[in-house]
Structure 1
């Protein structure tokens, strides 16, 4: 439940940031009334696309056999893990220039009097966040009952709204820079947890060899079968009885992530400046 709340919160704040950047630029123009309908139309179209993707994934999973469902969920968890890494790396490289890049794109569309271009820009921006959220939630929400899932989603949306307002107050309480820095660490840990869940499935399906299973027993320190240990496992990928294959893949994940984060990134106008 905590994973769902965190994902909805983080992705919703990012979506609100994008919408806020577009909205602020448009309302600053004397002809804003002309362009606002295209902006809100794009937001609605992007949300509709994300919902449609969610329904498609849900129906596709329900139509499969149990083993096929497990494999389907595994593929989506691997995809979600890859999306998390891509998103964190992308924000590291473009986060500081996101506002400038979006304003430039909007200026080009408005300068050419392309209202549909504004709509498409907004739709793509919102659909990107929404589709990522859909994939993440499908990967982590399989074991939640409907009430818990809805409660976590609503709480995440409410928390995102409060967070966005606080961040917009000029960084008096928390800055965009620190928000993204802390949440990107949590996202990467969540990505590792989803990767380990996918590896567990692949091991159970005999698609991957365990090599050595278990490699050690650390249940006396943290037992992932308990409530606290399960929380640690769900956010970090920790296993009290890991297979050697799981450990090697876990280490490879962090080597790859750290290598990508060390690559040069853009350094211009900070987000929200």
Structure 2
């Protein structure tokens, strides 16, 4: 349940950040606040509904694949890992200017009395976070039974409540928690989660016979930390740790981090170039 809690927490905080920026701008412009806020909350609702439609569409698409559901779920796992990497890179580039960009878009729409633009701006922001959450959690939801779904629902609710608390602390102006620290810490956690999802995808390919295991298992570290134990399961879900790793999985895990290191360095050099 650790993945569910973390993803819902992180994505909810980011959605609250966008909504908070737009809400604060409207509050500082009293002549347009009342009307603008109606479209703002309408955009939140539309974005949330778009995420639900995407979730239903994914499950419907999985049913259409029939016997190829394993392949479909594997593709979704790799897609989720890629989205996490994209999100980290996007926030690195736009985090500092996000507030200015959102306020500029809102000001343009208000000047043209285009409140549908405010609704669209909010809906896209909320739908983006909600859609990412749906894709991230699809693999776990697809194979869950009734009791597991109930536990996941509880973890999602707890993640949302923690997001409310986190956003409240962040709004205190860095007295307890700063946005810079929040994004730096969660960036590392997101990349670890992306590595874990990438590892899951590789293991799916091995189990389906598309990749060789090479050596399986390469070692047994269950005496130190069993990935089937409650604590080990959380560590495994959030970092990709395995007590009995196959050599192919370990090579893929190392390749992921080599690619991430190279990609980060390349993106850092782009502005200078």
Alpha-carbon offset, residue 213 of structure 1 = 2.8
Q: Segments of 4+ in structure 1 off by > 6 A? A: none
2:53 paired residue number: 52
**Structure 2: which 5+ residue stretches go unaligned?**
none
Whether the 8 Å CA contact 1:93–1:265 is kept in 2: the answer is no
Q: Are residue 78 (structure 1) and residue 78 (structure 2) matched?
A: yes
Q: C-alpha separation between the residues in 2 aligned to 1:178 and 1:102?
A: 21
Matched, 1:19 2:28: no
- Structure 2 counterpart of 1:177: 180
Give 1:143 shift.
4.2
- For residue 137 of structure 1, give the secondary structure of its aligned residue in structure 2: helix
**Higher relative helix content:** 2
Distance 1:5-1:209 versus aligned 2 partners, 3 A rule? same
Which region of structure 1 is more displaced relative to structure 2, 14-23 or 223-232? 223-232
Residue 9 to residue 266, structure 1, CA distance change in 2 (3 Å): farther
Match of 2:254 in 1: 251
- Aligned counterparts, 1:142-181, within 5 A: 142-143=143-144, 145-181=148-184
Alignment partners' CA distance in 2, 1:153 and 1:230:
17
Q: Which moved more, 1:23-32 or 1:160-169?
A: 23-32
The answer to whether the Cα contact below 8 Å between 2:19 and 2:122 also exists between their aligned partners in 1 is: yes
Aligned-pair CA distance for 1:187: 1.1
What is the CA deviation profile of residues 61-99 of structure 1, one whole-angstrom value per residue up to 9, with x for unaligned ones?
Answer: 34554x522222111111110011110111111111110
Deviates more, 1:107-116 or 1:198-207: 107-116
Uncovered stretches (5+) of structure 1, i.e. residues with no partner? 268-273
d(CA) in 1 for partners of 2:225 and 2:161?
33
Looking at structure 1, the residues matched to 233 and 45 of structure 2 have their Cα atoms a distance apart, in angstroms, of 37
Q: Give the paired residue count.
A: 266
Moved more, 147-156 or 247-256: 247-256
Query: 2:126 maps to what in 1?
Result: 126
Query: 163-172 vs 229-238, which deviates more?
Result: 229-238
Bigger Cα displacement from structure 2, 258-267 vs 192-201: 258-267
- In 1, are the aligned partners of 2:32 and 2:110 still within 8 Å (CA)? no
* TM-score normalised over the length of structure 2: 0.90
Measure how far apart 1:266 and its partner are: 10
CA RMSD, aligned part only?
Answer: 2.0
Matched with 1:187 is 190
**TM-score between the two structures when normalised by the length of structure 1:** 0.90
1:175-200 CA distances to partner (integer Å, 9 max, x unpaired)?
Answer: 11111111111111111111111111
Residues 22 and 265 (structure 1), Cα distance of their counterparts in 2 relative to 1, 3 Å cut = farther
Aligned to 1:241: 244
256, 265, 268: which one aligns with 1:264: 268
Deviates more, 1:235-244 or 1:217-226: 217-226
